[in-house]
Amino acid sequence: MDDVRPEALLELATAIALEAGGLVARGRLAERALIGTKSTLTDMVTEVDHASEALIVRRILEARPGDGILGEEGTAREGTTGLRWVIDPLDGTTNFLYGFPAYAVSIAVEGPGGAIAGVVRDAARGETFAAALGHGATADGAPIRVNDAPVAAHALIGTGFGYSPERRAGQAAVLAELLPHIRSAALDLCSVACGRLDGYYEQGIQPWDHAAGALIVREAGGRTGWVPRAFARDLDPPLLLAAGPALFEALTALFGGVGAKP
C-alpha cells in the first residue's frame, strides 16, 4: 500500500525538490534562452522552467502514478488517490534570468483538506524549507518558528507585486495606506516561517506560489489567510496575508478583515 503519511510524502517531495533545485542551479550557469512570456510581457519563462517541471512530474509519476498534479508551466493531471501535487518549478524566473539570488523550487502535496506536505528549495542559496502537517517546519532540517511582533509599527513586512501594470497600481495604493503602520520589504513566506520577516502579504498569487510556503508558515506557528477587502477597497483577486498570531490579528485589523486560510 502507498504510504500517504505527511512525513513520508514530505520525504519524497524533498528528494524531488533537491534534484530539481540542482537542475535550476546548473541552468543558471549555462547558456539559456528565453522561451516566451506567460500572463504579461514581464512574466517571463525559460527552458529551465519547463525542464524543471518535466523532471518533477516524471519523478512524481514514477513514485506515485495515481496522484494528481498541477504545475505552473501547464501540467494538469487528474488523480485517483485524493492527493494532488502543486508545483512551481522555478519561482522567481525574472530573478533567475538576471542572476538575482532569489529563486526556488516549490512543491506541495494536497489532500482533501488542503496542503499536508510542502518543501521550498532555495536554488540560489542552497537552503531547504519544509513542513509536514502536524510535524512542524524546518530549515535545512532544523526546527523554525515565526516571530510574533506585538505591534505592526515594529514589524518587518514583506510584499510582492504582480506582473500586470493595472494590478501593480492597485497594490501600490494599498501599500500607501499601510506604510504609516509598517516597514516594508519584498521577501517571501519562508522568510516569515524562519523569522527573517515578521509578516508578508501579496495580492493575486497562484496556488503553486503559496501551497508549500503557507503550510510551512502555519507549521512554524504562524497564521495565513485571504484578505478580500482592504482600506475600503475590494481586492480582486484577494490578498494573501501571513504572520505570527499576534501580528496577524493586528494586520487583520489594519486591512479590515481576513477570510479563510489558503
Checking 32-36 for CB contacts under 8 A at 24+ apart, the result is 32/97, 34/97
User: Do the Cβ atoms of 89 and 20 come closer than 8 Å?
Assistant: yes
> What are the structural domains, with CATH classification, of the chain?
6-135 (3.30.540.10), 152-255 (3.40.190.80)
132/109 Cα distance (integer angstroms): 9
- Convert the pLDDT of each residue in 24-69 to its tens digit: 998 887 755 555 555 553 345 678 889 999 999 999 999 999 999 9
The average confidence (pLDDT) of the chain is: 83
C-alpha cell of 161? 507585486
pLDDT > 90 fraction of the chain, expressed in percent and rounded: 53
Using alpha carbons, list the distances in angstroms from residue 30 to 41, 47, 119, 121.
24, 11, 25, 20
Lowest mean pLDDT among 6-10, 14-18, 237-241: 237-241
Per-residue pLDDT, 32: 54
Instruction: Tell me the sheet residues that pair with 129.
Output: 120, 139
pTM as predicted? 0.84
| Rg of the chain (C-alpha set) | 18
- Convert the pLDDT of each residue in 140-151 to its tens digit: 999 999 998 766
Predicted confidence (pLDDT) at residue 154 exceeds the cutoff of 80? no
Residue range 107-126: average pLDDT? Answer: 96
